[in-house]
Structure formats: C-alpha cells, structure tokens
Amino acid sequence: MQGKVILEEHFAVQATLNDPRTFTPEIWKRLGSQLLDIEKMRLPEMDANGIEWMILSLNAPAVQAIWDVKRAIAVAREANDHLAAEVAKHPDRFVGVAALAMQDPEEAAKELRRCVRELGFKGALVNGFSQVGEENTQVYYDLPQYRPFWKVVEELDVPFYLHPRNPLPSWQPNYQGHNWLLGASWAFAAETAVHALRLMASGLFDEHPRLKIIIGHLGEGIPANLWRLDNRNKWFDRRHAYPAKKWIADYMRENFWITTSGNFATAALKMCIEELGADRVMFSTDYPFEDVAQSVEWFDNVGISEADRLKIGRTNALELFGMG
C-alpha cells in the first residue's frame, strides 16, 4: 500500500539521548544514531516502504524522567524547537507532535498551545508518568491538578499520545531479577494500560468528552480485556466502583485510538478491529525500535479488507491529526 501514515516514530536530542537498561551498548549505538537523524536515514526508508508521512515524537522517557521541573520545561522547549526546524525542511513528509513537561501542568498547557498555534504541531506525545521534584516519584495525569491541562487539550482539538515508559525500580519490586520483563516485552504495556485505565475511571472523559487519546502496541492489552474489566465491575449487579459515569469499554471506544506500533500480530489486530472498529486503529512501526520493512511487509499483506487497510494505514491518521 502506498501513501501510508505512521505516527509512533521517535527522534532524540542530545539532552534526551539516554541508554535504556533494556538495550546493550552495541545496539544503543545504532539506535542512538537513528534517533538523532531526521532526514538522511528516514526519508529513503519511507520511500522504499510506501510511507508518505511520518509523525515524529520525542524518545522515551526523556522529559518525563527529568524530575528537576525547570530543566524539564527547558528540555521540552528545546526538543520542540529542534523538531519544528527539522519538519520545516520537509513539510510534505514530516509532522511534529509536542513533548511536554507534565511536571508542571500549567507550563505543559502553555507549551502545547505554543506548539500547535506557532510551530504547527498536530498534537502531543508524553512518555507516561512524570517524576516531579524528586527522583523517586510517579505522578499520573488523572489527578485533579491536571484537569486544567486536559481542558486546553480539548479546546485545541488535538490528539494526545500516551506512550510507555518503565516503572521506577522502587515502585515495582516484582521486576527485580527479571529485567527481561522490562521495556517492550511486558512492563511498557502493563504500565501504560494502568495509566490509561486510571484516566478512564477518573471521570476525565465525562468532564471533557471530546478528548482524543492514542495508545500504542495494539492498545497495551486493554482491548482483549474490555469484557472482563466491565464484567468484574458489575459483579452482583452493583454499579462500577469508580467516579466515571460510563463503563470502561465506552470510553475505550469513544475517546481512544490505538496503533499497531511494535505489535504486528495478525490475530491481535483482527481482535482489535472487532472490539473497537477499524476507524479506531492506525498503522505505526515504532521507529527505530522496530524494523520498518518488516512491519510494512506484514501490514501490506495482513488478511484484512482493502477498505480497512486504507483506513488503518492512512485515512484514520489524516483525519485524527487534521492533516486533510
């Protein structure tokens, strides 16, 4: 399929180029060069694989792991300015989404406004919880202090991508001695799914029903568990025990979109289409952490209808990001 749009595709600046524990130094040397590059490596790969647009976002955990709030704000602005300059070189191929210092909700809202209105960005991508004020903190965005921020997101009418990060070691001792579970293998999905479910259950989408949230990796396991989540919450005919007015499945189908990033499982894709509808699924690769050619080979040949392939590979993203 030609003309694909992909949207969980990462870059880095020097200030965010850290060495994750889940990669060896040899692998990270290659990945680091790919993250710092915007045009030399990406454009030929896009051309070779039928990709028209790449929506670029900052790597993880990046800004969210900078617990010094003033520095987090400065790094987010630096990364956004750098990305805007790079996108301007190829505005017909690249689109930017904002990095935000969620450590300070007011500053995050201000930076999102700047990125959308002045830099031409089409949304935001945030790498999970933020560390705020001290290293050993995990702050989630269902908390009351973030409601003014979400109001701005809704007013700007742009999507917000909730991207994974690893839990802090002190918060998840069950991973100790099993580092193979960290990162994309398991911890990313588990951490992001809990965060997304917190947002749904908090009443956020009752207050701001036009919010548009994206999660990757075929929904971090949530689509497969919608029935069980809601069934357990109506046990013995009692009302669900959280502030939100609707069921989890309602919010997932009304306020969330998912991508295929890093999860190219045919059966899982078909299940997600059945649970959420093809209009809620978008193709992505997770560059440079996944092989673009491999992901495209799978998507271009996976057993779905051509109408769904066009939606998932192109038109859903164009519509969601307001790209015409």
CA dist., res. 120 & res. 158, Å (int): 11
pTM across the whole model = 0.96
The average pLDDT across 267-278 equals 98
* Residue 19 predicted with pLDDT over 70: no
Q: What is the mean pLDDT of residues 212-227?
A: 97
> Average pLDDT for residues 35-57, to the nearest whole number?
96
**CA–CA distances in Å: residue 242 to residues 223, 232, 247, 280:** 19, 12, 10, 25
- Number of Cβ within 10 Å of residue 106's Cβ equals 11
**Burial of residue 162, with CB atoms counted within 10 A of its CB: 0-12 exposed, 13-18 middle, 19 or more buried:** buried
Distance CA 102, CA 94 (A): 25
- Please enumerate in sequence order all residues whose Cβ is within 8 A of that of 291, keeping only pairs 6 or more positions apart, or say none: 285
pLDDT digits (tens, 9 = 90+) for 57-90: 999 999 999 999 999 999 999 999 999 999 999 9
Residue 307 β-bridge partners = none
More confident residue, 64 or 28: 64
155 pLDDT exceeds 60? yes
* Apex 195 CA angle, 139 and 277, nearest 5: 155
Query: What contacts 241, CB < 8 A, 6 or more positions away?
Result: 233
Given this model, what pLDDT does residue 171 score?
78
Domains, the chain, in order of start with CATH, read: 4-320 (3.20.20.140)
Mean pLDDT computed over 177-204: 94
Residue 199 makes CB contacts below 8 A (sequence gap 6+) with 141, 142, 162, 205, 213
**Contact between 166 and 187 (Cβ < 8 Å):** yes
The pLDDT confidence band at residue 20, using thresholds 50, 70 and 90, is low
Q: What is the mean pLDDT of residues 141-164?
A: 98
Which stretch of 21-30, 144-153, 209-218 has the lowest confidence by average pLDDT? Answer: 21-30
Look up residue 213 and give its two tokens.
């949230």
Residue 256 to residue 153: CA distance in whole angstroms = 14
Confidence of residue 243 (pLDDT cuts 50, 70, 90): very high
| Least confident piece of the model among 13-27, 74-88, 130-144, 269-283 | 13-27
Whether residue 194 has pLDDT greater than 80: yes
| Residue-wise pLDDT tens digits, 81-125 | 999 999 999 999 999 999 999 999 999 999 999 999 999 999 999
Orientation of helix 147-156 relative to helix 105-117, angle to 10°: 10
* Confidence band, pLDDT 50/70/90 cuts, at residue 17: confident
- Is the pLDDT higher at 228 or at 237? 228
pLDDT value for 21: 52
Alpha-carbon distance of 211 to 147, in angstroms, equals 12
pLDDT per position as a tens digit, 292-304: 999 999 999 999 9
Catalytic center residues: 286
In the predicted model, is pLDDT for residue 227 greater than 60? yes
Q: Return the percent helix, strand and coil in the chain, to nearest 5.
A: 50, 10, 35
**Contact partners, residue 161, CB within 8 Å, separation at least 6:** 7, 8, 57, 97, 123, 124, 125, 126, 213, 214, 215, 216
Per-residue model confidence (pLDDT) at position 74: 98
Q: Are the beta carbons of 96 and 121 closer than 8 angstroms?
A: yes
